Amino acid sequence: MRRISADRLTIIHGETGCGKSSRLPIFLYEDAIASGRECRIAITQPRRIAATNLYRRLKDTHGSKHGDKLVGLRLGGGIKEGEGAPITFMTTGKLLRYFVAGNTVDNYTHIVIDEVHERSVDSDVCCYFARNLLLANPNLRVILMSATMHYGLYNTYFNEYLGIDRTYEECLSVGVRRFPLTIFYADDLLDRAPRKVKKTSLSLSLSLSLSLFLSFFLSFSHLHTHTRTHTHTHTYSRYIEGSRIAEPN
């Protein structure tokens, strides 16, 4: 939080599953409330389903603690939920529409562009408008997030334009908690299993194999019989029709 408060641009490299998309807005909101500062966060996702799922998740997990109007959602087609909410999820295209309108984005204190590594047209144009808005609004904080991104590219693009020399500063890296894993194969499990379990497993395997064989055999026999009957009937019908055609008037 100190880094985001001090720097107008923050680039976060967070591994998949670290909670950057779901936890960061809550951290920003709680820090602003504790400091007595105004907080209005716009956080974008490249797809509607991602924005909707994050909105529902935060509403379910933090709605009881911070109130029902903590999280909002803005999508195309007039979808608008959580009017006046301090945290608003939206698509990148929706934020771009706000940038074009020019008056809505001035109310936000934080603009979070997630998944910037996808480099869509909407995302790149949003970065362009956000960079210009940083010069016009000194209280705005822009946060770029991704699991895989070219940090130097975005660092140079923003900071050189703003006249800030931070070429060698590292981005914020957030990892995930990892747990030790032990790989077991089917043969290993059978070797460790008691004799009774091995015998039961072998019986089930033989029964399953026999059932599959019988099912295949019966299906093949039925198909073969149906094919022969259909062939004889078709040949007999053609013979009868040929005989009728050959009869004189």
Looking at residue 141, which CATH number applies to its domain? 3.40.50.300
Residues 103 and 222 reside in one and the same domain: no
Inter-residue contact 8 to 140 (CB < 8 Å): yes
**Total structural domains in the chain?**
2
Q: Do residues 113 and 207 both lie within one domain?
A: no
Identify whether 179 is part of a domain: no
One domain, residues 98 and 219: no
Q: Does residue 180 belong to any structural domain of this protein? A: no
pTM of the entire predicted model:
0.65
Amino acid identity, residue 209?
A: S
Same domain for 23 and 142, yes or no, is yes
Residue 64 lies in a domain: yes
| Domain shared by 130 and 198, yes or no | no
| Token representation of residue 32 | 């602003």
Check whether residue 130 and residue 239 sit in a common domain.
no
Task: For residue 66, tell me if it sits in a domain.
Answer: yes
Select from 174, 207, 227 the last residue of a domain.
Answer: 174
Answer yes or no: is 38 within a domain: yes
Collect all residues with Cβ–Cβ distance below 8 Å to 173 and sequence separation of at least 6: 12, 13, 14
Assess whether 11 and 127 both reside in one domain: yes
The string of pLDDT tens digits covering residues 209-222 is: 666 666 765 665 55
Residue 57 is part of which domain span?
Answer: 2-174
One domain for residues 72 and 190 = no
pLDDT of residue 89: 92
Q: Would residue 82 count as lying in a domain?
A: yes
pLDDT tens string, the chain, 249 residues long: the values are 777 777 788 888 877 777 788 888 888 888 888 888 888 999 999 899 988 998 888 888 887 666 667 888 988 888 888 788 889 999 999 988 888 887 678 888 999 998 888 888 888 898 888 888 888 888 888 988 887 777 778 888 887 777 765 544 567 777 666 678 888 787 776 676 666 555 555 566 666 666 666 676 566 555 555 555 444 444 444 444 544 444 444
Residues 170 and 191 in one domain: no
3-state SS of the chain?
CHHHHHCCEEEEEECCCCCHHHHHHHHHHHHHHHHCCCCCEEEEECCHHHHHHHHHHHHHHHHHHHCCCCEEEEECCCEEECCCCCEEEEEHHHHHHHHHHCCCHHHCCEEEEECHHHCCHHHHHHHHHHHHHHHHCCCCEEEEEECCCCHHHHHHHHHHHHCCCCCCCCCEEECCCCCCCCCCCHHHHHHHCCHHHHHHHHHHHHHHHHHHHHHHHHHHHHHHHHHHHHHHHHHHHHHHHHHHHHCCC
Task: Judge if 150 and 96 occupy the same domain.
Answer: yes
To 10 degrees, what angle do helices 121-136 and 151-162 make?
30
Find how far residue 17's CA is from the centre of its chain: 11
Q: Which of 126, 152, 174 is the last residue of a domain?
A: 174
Same structural domain for residues 112 and 226?
A: no
Assess if residue 181 is contained within a domain.
no
Of 139, 174, 209, the one marking the end of a domain is: 174
Q: Are residues 190 and 169 in the same domain?
A: no
Tokens of 112: 């979070």
